[in-house]
Chains A and B, each alone.
Chain A
Amino acid sequence: MKWSALAVALVAALSFVACGRKPDAASDGAQIVKIGQSSPLTGPQAHLGKDNDNGARLAIDEINAAHPVLAGKPVVFELVSEDDGADPKTATTVAQRLVDEGVVGVIGHLNSGATIPASKVYADAGIPQISPSATAVKYTTQGFKTAFRVMTNDAQQGKVLGAYAAKLGKKIAIIDDRTAYGQGLADEVEKAAKAAGEDVVAREYTTDRASDFMAILTSIKSKSPDVVFFGGMDPQAAPLVKQMRQLGMKAQFLGADGSETPKFIELAGPDAEGSIASMPGLPLESMPGGQAFKQKFEAKYGEIQNYAPYAYDAARVMVDAMKRANSAEPAKFLAELPKTDFQGVTGHIRFDSRGDLAGGSITLYQVKNGKWTVLETVKSAE
């Protein structure tokens, strides 16, 4: 009896869902073009995920405000945002969902761990994907024609950081959080530091959930490094810096884009002073339109967390390719994407043959008087 009851229930459910699909609503006769966005909107990285979402949303709103026209027809862009929870498995489901919903392109994902498995789904569907913040080298080396990013990858940033560390002192200690991002970057920094003649005195590890680093810092302290590099995000970087000072360590803190956030200063307080961190791209303030972007963004969503400008640029690069192709069809504007030559708020955006940012710049910042201030900008080798 139970089996047949189950069967009846299943059939009923199927017929229910069969009628459930709703058509796309077109507002004022304009054709709706959907662009996907995916990032963790729940979980520990939800604040960064929301930031990406806001960045892309601002771009889309601005583009729509200019009443765009493609192939002679007015179009309205719609951002479809989905939560991937920073989880690789959810990321593929979400990617498929975006494909189903008929998005023509995707801005995302945030984490390399989610971006890589999702890129396969987009590649299969022939939908271009621009990640604003995935930095793992692997993302663009899988051979997918649809994968692009508007941020320098770990190798590019790691080289700059390693070379810069050599300028700061002879002995370096390297810590990473054992995530795809932190480990990938730390390995590149280690390589570059060694190449620059640096002495790597300690290589320690933590996790992306940790808040206590006293044990590894005590052990690092005994090796008296001049520089401590941390590959990871600000929730770890801030207490790490605090605990370094608690232990009386004078070493220079060096971080990457995960640490170069206002939150880092807010959380670490006076201990943040003097910390140095890198951020791909050029300083927002010095870019044409950068200051305006910042003001608009902050008026609408509050402080920029981290990658919102990249999500903003990613969305505009995608629409730019559509304009050049004069079509919102993925196959057509995908052919235009590699030819991108776009002046964004994070820098001049061009892609190399793999979809990586070509010749991207990396800017080093230092906390001075409770603010990130520009130290110097380094052009990464191609």
Chain B
Amino acid sequence: MDILIQQLINGLVLGSVYALVALGYTMVYGILELINFAHGEVTMMGAMVAVAVMGMLMGAAPDLPGVWVALLGLLAAVSACMALGYVIERAAYRPLRQAPRLAPLITAIGISILLQNIAMMIWGKQYIPFPRILPEARHNILGASITDVQIAILGLTLVIMAGLVWLVNRTSLGRAMRAVAQSKSVAQLMGVDVNKVISATFLIGSGLGAVAGVMVSANYGQAHYYMGFLLGLKAFSAAVLGGIGNIAGAMLGGLLLGVIESLGAGYIGDLTGGFLGSQYQDVFAFAVLILVLVFRPSGLLGEKGVERA
């Protein structure tokens, strides 16, 4: 029993991060119908900037409490990634808004390669450790253990999701975003500044990505210029699982994928009588994804019958 609870906690922590990154994919997709392949790299940049800023802070002000250093690092990462997201959209995606569908996808792949290599040149080819400034106490919940960082991840994700739901459903920016997602031209006719809304979407999505990046590196204790690729891929799968373009779907998809991966890796051996082991954990995750999509072609919460091609 305590094993099951532990696996669920593992899955939820993993899933929270997926969900945050997935939100970035899904928001951009909802509005531009573009798979922003570079989003995983934006997340990586967030982690790298945070680690670098924290290192500088610890050198400049050694008396600052660890939590403050971490918060300032997070703040720096979020602002840097927002700026990055804004620049990427302006420079690489906006000129291609009328281009054939796959052209911006290739640009996104190019940006992704570019960002990886820029990060490699700035921070080197090495894994860099996340400074040990956060409390590392372990707590016991029903026989399962959870760390402070993991509790912070779960809590922060919850707060951010609630905030985002409020933003999309209750504010004028949120209304404008929904309008642009439905139809850019009609929204424009109704007086919505489409470019502004798209920029805002990129700012928010990149900011969320930065938070996720910092969480990942804090949780695993390291950051690396290559860390964004796999994370982005998983998060993108999560967004599709939930129904891409749908914000609640991204949250659900992220959490679900995390739990599926965790349970899959933990129990696949017992389920198949030892025939398949944890080497097939990704197969398990993808198989669930494929099964869901085969029976619900627009994802779990995606709108049905909408032609997007």
Contact = CB atoms under 8 A, between A and B. Distances in A.
Interface stretch (B38-46, B162-170, B207-215, B259-267): B259-267
Interface in B254-309: 261-267, 269, 277-279, 281-282
A246 B147 contact: yes
B125 interface: yes
A42 B282 CA distance: 26
Interface residues of B, number: 40
B278 A267 contact: no
A215 B126 contact: no
Contact of A205 (B117, B147, B224, B279): B279
Contact of A44 (B10, B224, B264): B224
B10 A215 contact: yes
Given A204-B278, A246-B145, A216 B125 contact: no
B147 A215 contact: no
Given A206-B278, A214-B14, A218-B7, A238 B221 contact: yes
Interface residues of A, number: 37
B129 A205 contact: no
B226 interface: yes
Contacts of B127: 47, 234-235, 238, 263, 267
Contact of A216 (B120, B224, B265): B265
Contacts, number: 98
Contacts of A221: 3
With most chain A CB atoms within 10 A of its CB, the pick from B262, B277, B279 is B279
A235 B132 CA distance: 17
B230 interface: yes
A178 interface: yes
B269 A214 contact: no
Given A212-B220, A239-B222, A219 B129 contact: no
B232 to A, nearest CB: 12
**DSSP class of B's interface residues: helix, strand, loop or mixed?**
helix
Contact of B221 (A44, A216, A219, A239): A239
A218 to B, nearest CB: 5
Contacts of B229: 209
B277 A246 contact: no
Given A216-B266, A216-B278, A235 B224 contact: yes
Given A46-B125, A246-B147, A247-B145, A215 B281 contact: yes
Interface in A127-148: none
Contact of B222 (A42, A44, A207, A238): A238
Contacts of A269: 129, 132, 221
B227 interface: yes
A364 interface: no
A247 B126 CA distance: 27
Interface in A159-213: 178, 203-207, 209-212
B138 interface: yes
A212 B14 contact: yes
Contacts of B277: 203-205
B226 A43 contact: yes
A47 B126 contact: yes
A215 B264 CA distance: 8
B36 interface: no
Nearest to B269: A219
B127 to A, nearest CB: 5
Given A248-B145, A267-B221, A50 B10 contact: no
Nearest to A175: B278
B254 to A, nearest CB: 14
B25 to A, nearest CB: 19
A369 interface: no
B216 A211 contact: yes
20 contacts: A44-B224, A44-B226, A47-B125, A203-B277, A209-B229, A214-B10, A214-B14, A215-B278, A216-B266, A216-B278, A218-B10, A218-B266, A219-B3, A219-B266, A219-B278, A239-B221, A248-B138, A248-B145, A269-B129, A269-B221
Given A46-B125, A50-B125, A204-B265, 16 more contacts: A47-B125, A178-B279, A204-B277, A209-B229, A211-B216, A214-B14, A214-B262, A215-B7, A215-B264, A215-B265, A218-B7, A219-B269, A235-B224, A238-B221, A239-B221, A269-B129
Interface of B: 3, 6-7, 10-11, 13-14, 117, 120, 124-127, 129, 132, 138, 145, 147, 216, 220-222, 224, 226-227, 229-230, 261-267, 269, 277-279, 281-282
Q: Which 3 A-B pairs have the closest CB atoms?
A: A46-B125, A215-B265, A205-B279
